Structure 1
Amino acid sequence: MQALVTGAAGFIGSTLSERLVAEGATVVGVDNLSDYYSTATKRDNLAQIDSDRFSFVHADLNEIDLEPLVAEADVVFHIAGQPGVRGSWGEGFSEYVSANISATQRLLEATSRTDSRPKFVYASSSSIYGDAEAYPTHELTLPRPRSPYGVTKLAGEQLCRLYAATSGLSTVSLRFFTVYGPRQRPDMAFTRFLTAALTGTQIDVYGTGEQVRDFTYVDDIVDAVSRAATVDVAPGSVYNVSGGGSHSVNEVLDIIEELTGRELNVRRQGSAAGDVARTSAETTAIRRDFSWTPRTDLRAGLQSQLEWVRGVLARA
């Protein structure tokens, strides 16, 4: 298999690329190495993909000629995007429109014009649901995003459906539920919590900590994404991908205290704009159609991420 992976230097994209080359695929990774967080961290992620079957293109999806890259691929894994709910408000929204909507449209357009017409796998988000009407939330639930970020990810899904319907592209959108694990971005909660636990610094927690999330280990996410390349499903399909267990932020903090043997220094802050009280995914469809099931529970996943954070701090 020849694969194009966008966002290949990031948390999920680098983990996916490493898995694909380990399974024998030839991978071209594209990333603009934005300064949303340290580019050195992203280059470290790329350095872990030690294979002559991986090549890297440093480019912006809104500027590069995409057709030559897409034409060589059997599957396009579109993982790239501007992340983060809090930064998507106000003047920051234009960057989200560019990275999450315009870039997705350009990539779909290029894919639709190639003779090879590779499969297109899009990384969406549980943020499209907002405060869902029911839990666990299934894929036919009315999307009600509560952040501009969620709006842009939903727009990307709609573009995938549009190109599936009008151009016959084989697109699959995967709604990720709170991904964690080694290489998680430094601004994300688990990396912040674990780093603070090991260094004895303060942990800022937004809201009461009783917010409930379906946390999903990165290897389980990557397994679902990889399977999406080969499963035979209807063009424009959408699937939830979640770890299968709902836990509060306070439960996570308790587990981190147990794993590190250290009392945490927690400061409570007001709720963040766009935050939701709960996420919980219905995953019957992906378990059936992908023969997929999550394998990593929260404690084991946190232990793995803890060891990664220890390594990062040791190298700093």
Structure 2
Amino acid sequence: MSILIIGSEGFIGSNLVNYFKAQNKKVICADIKAIQRNDYYQINPADPNYDELFSHHNFSICINASGSANVKFSFEQPKLDFDSNTLIVFKLLNAIKNHQPNCKFLNLSSAAVYGNFSSEPLEENIHCNPVSPYGFHKWYAELICKEYHVLFNLKTISVRLFSVYGEGQEKLLFWDMWQKYVANKNNIELFGSGNEARDFLHIEDVAKAIDIVITKENFNGAAINIASGNITPIKEAASIFYSLLNTQDAQYSFTHHAKKGDPDILAADISKLKQLGFTPTFNLQEGLSKYMQWL
């Protein structure tokens, strides 16, 4: 199997590269960074030429792990966020249609497509109601995947990632907790009330879940949740994180001001993923322990 990973140098992409290489799979990497390596293709961000990539190499599957994952940025620069999360999917699928119609396409989507629902676990078939440009753009990308399956018979699937964390991540909640601890451990201010809840999944489990989806799921233009199936309040996640520092001097509080575009609760129904045989390897404490060894 030959796997092309777009966005190979990012947090999730680089972990997927390592995961599949450890399984002795042939992996071709592609990103915008200038890297001299035989297995690497540099993408020109100003004028990406995916036709050249797909006309010169044969791939069993293309995984799109590229794009912005910044809700705040999507409000500030919606056009750029659209380009990086939606337009790229159209361009990739069009190149696959023109040159390698048998190449499967797996797009990394996000739980942000759901919007702000209650604490009930979110099933893939409920109507999406995003509350940020980022969420809308991820949803549009899913629709493009569906379009190219229905109209052009391409094998596509979208995986809706919930709250991914782990080694290599230098943004979002736990990185923010760490940076604020380093800056001023006696006065750590965290966004929100602490009662918000997320479904956290360690990056190694994400890679394992994606592998299972590739192996067992039908690429029929649909979407599937990737998460642990358990939600954790942010105040509990913070307690676990700071307790793992083995220190008593972390003094933190919550601002009670939520970030624009952030839902209160995101709980995943992972029945479809479980039916494929997925069970998480790490609970939150175990996963955070691995992450903190990397920090």
When normalised by structure 1's length, the TM-score is: 0.86
CA RMSD of aligned residues (A): 2.1
For 1:31, the equivalent position in structure 2 comes to 31
For 1:114, the equivalent position in structure 2 comes to 99
For 2:209, the equivalent position in structure 1 comes to 224
Q: Which amino acid aligns with 1:192?
A: D
Q: Which amino acid aligns with 2:114?
A: Y
For 2:171, the equivalent position in structure 1 comes to 187
**How far, CA to CA, are the matches of 1:133 and 1:166 in structure 2?**
35
**Conserved in 1, the CA contact under 8 Å of 2:117 and 2:263?**
no
Q: 1:115 to 1:257 in 2, by over 3 A?
A: closer
Residue by residue, what CA displacement relative to the aligned partner does 1:54-104 show, whole Å, maximum 9, x if unpaired?
7122214662321343341110001101111111113x1111111111111
Q: Which amino acid aligns with 1:89?
A: F
Q: Which of residues 228, 231, 241 in structure 2 aligns to 1:246?
A: 231
**How far, CA to CA, are the matches of 1:225 and 1:56 in structure 2?**
21
| 253-262 or 170-179, larger mean C-alpha shift | 253-262
For 1:5, the equivalent position in structure 2 comes to 5
**How far, CA to CA, are the matches of 2:211 and 2:90 in structure 1?**
22
The CA deviation at 1:141 is 1.1
Q: 1:232 to 1:299 in 2, by over 3 A?
A: closer
**How far, CA to CA, are the matches of 2:73 and 2:182 in structure 1?**
27
**Conserved in 1, the CA contact under 8 Å of 2:74 and 2:134?**
yes
Q: 1:129 to 1:146 in 2, by over 3 A?
A: same
**Conserved in 2, the CA contact under 8 Å of 1:62 and 1:106?**
no
Q: Which of residues 257, 260, 277 in structure 1 aligns to 2:245?
A: 260
When normalised by structure 2's length, the TM-score is: 0.92
| 14-23 or 115-124, larger mean C-alpha shift | 115-124
**How far, CA to CA, are the matches of 2:133 and 2:172 in structure 1?**
18
**Conserved in 1, the CA contact under 8 Å of 2:104 and 2:219?**
no
Percent identical pairs in the alignment equals 24
**Conserved in 2, the CA contact under 8 Å of 1:61 and 1:103?**
no
Q: Which of residues 281, 284, 289 in structure 1 aligns to 2:268?
A: 281
Matched, 1:103 2:88: yes
**How far, CA to CA, are the matches of 1:144 and 1:212 in structure 2?**
18
| 60-69 or 174-183, larger mean C-alpha shift | 60-69
**How far, CA to CA, are the matches of 1:60 and 1:296 in structure 2?**
37
**1:272-311 counterparts in 2 under 5 A?**
272-288=259-275, 290-309=276-295
Following TM superposition, the consecutive aligned residue runs of length 4 or more in structure 1 with deviations greater than 6 angstroms are none
| 22-31 or 190-199, larger mean C-alpha shift | 190-199
Q: Which residues of structure 1 form unaligned runs of 5+?
A: 34-38, 47-51, 310-316
**How far, CA to CA, are the matches of 2:183 and 2:258 in structure 1?**
25
**Conserved in 2, the CA contact under 8 Å of 1:178 and 1:215?**
yes
SS at match of 2:232: strand
**Conserved in 2, the CA contact under 8 Å of 1:62 and 1:102?**
no
Q: Which residues of structure 2 form unaligned runs of 5+?
A: none
**How far, CA to CA, are the matches of 1:297 and 1:253 in structure 2?**
15
**How far, CA to CA, are the matches of 1:113 and 1:295 in structure 2?**
39
SS at match of 1:89: helix
**How far, CA to CA, are the matches of 1:234 and 1:79 in structure 2?**
17
**How far, CA to CA, are the matches of 2:71 and 2:286 in structure 1?**
27
**How far, CA to CA, are the matches of 1:9 and 1:217 in structure 2?**
18
Q: 1:61 to 1:237 in 2, by over 3 A?
A: farther
